Amino acid sequence: MPLNPDISNNIKRIEKSFNLISQDRKSILENFAGYISDKLKSGEEIKLIFICTHNSRRSHISQIWAQTAAEYYSIPDIKCFSGGTEATAFNPRAVKAMQKAGFRIETKDDSDNPVYLVYYSDDKKPVECFSKVYSDEYNPQKDFAAIMNCSDADENCPVVFGAEARFPVRYDDPKEFDGTEFEQEKYDERVEEIGREMLYVFSLV
């Protein structure tokens, strides 16, 4: 299925920057890609939960980019989720940065923790994003990979119950720049970095 043109164009540009990923980082991402490849070979559905403390920024961005990358590279049977060690809300600054990257985003409600529908293609179901703990019943409870997107969640969750694999794919938190002149720049940087690395992972599968 075709991706939305703005996203497709963005991906083609980002693909040219895989050389910016360090060798140490590539080793981690290649292990993650190997897990996906092994699951595909065994014919199993692949369930990925991206985990960060508040499930408000990095984990949602990673979830969306991973689902998009799977579609772009025609990798079947991928289901991406996100969660935190506590629930807050998908941060509006992160939502705005994802819109800037080409994603069409609708809000289903106006609660303190709204459900966002994130569209990467007009022909596919949107990614449903809202903040939740990783063990929420919305997420798979077993046979999934846990991708730890921040050091806090990684260090404070020595065990992620139900996970059959775990990968430390950590990112700096753009929240550090909220309310500063660098806010938009740092959110855009993080969206770009996460997009680059999720595309790299799925390009190897």
Cβ proximity of 19 and 198 under 8 Å: no
Mean local confidence (pLDDT), 109-115: 95
CATH number at residue 56: 3.40.50.2300
What pLDDT, in 10s, does the model give residues 84-95?
Answer: 999 999 999 999
Cβ proximity of 133 and 84 under 8 Å: yes
What pLDDT, in 10s, does the model give residues 15-72?
Answer: 999 999 999 999 999 999 999 999 999 999 999 999 999 999 999 999 999 999 999 9
Number of domains composing the chain:
1
Mean local confidence (pLDDT), 161-190: 96
Containing structural domain, residue 168:
5-203
pLDDT at 1: 60
